[in-house]
Amino acid sequence: MKSVVISLSLVALLFLVNSCNKCNNDDPTARVVNNGTSAANLQITSFDGNIVSITDLEKGFISSENSYAPGTATLSGSIEGIQLTETLDMSECTAYDVTITSDNKIVVFSQNKN
């Protein structure tokens, strides 16, 4: 009987821990990874019109992570005079890495926040 109570307690604890890890319609987040040839300047305009400016992000650096409203976001900026533009559909419970590649192109990676 004691082992049944312990087993049920462990199952309940595992259920509780697992349910805490679920994303609860959290806003998407994004950060910029600069693997380009020099410092980059970007603006990310979220669906609701909020703008996050990332200026002088040096080569090899990663910006801080910011939250955005779900929906279409526009990324625009420049690196060494090259204009960068990308449109991104940002979904709830998703983290985005906006990466400037070594040939100064934008590539976006995403991961669900579970």
* CATH number of 38's domain: 2.60.40.2890
Which of 92, 77, 85 minimizes the C-alpha distance to 108? Answer: 85
Round to whole Å and give the CA distance between 50 and 68. Answer: 8
Q: What is the pLDDT of residue 16?
A: 47
Inside any domain, residue 20: no
Question: What is the pLDDT averaged over residues 43-72?
Answer: 96
Inside any domain, residue 105: yes
Inside any domain, residue 71: yes
Task: Please report which helix (H) or strand (E) contains residue 10, including its range.
Answer: helix 2-20
Tally of domains within the chain: 1
Which of 71, 79, 68 minimizes the C-alpha distance to 106? Answer: 79
Distances (CA, A) of 107 to 1, 36, 100: 57, 11, 6
| Model confidence, pTM | 0.78
Inside any domain, residue 83: yes
Q: For residue 104, what are the domain limits?
A: 25-112
Question: What is the pLDDT averaged over residues 20-26?
Answer: 78
Inside any domain, residue 16: no
CB 73 within 8 A of CB 88: yes
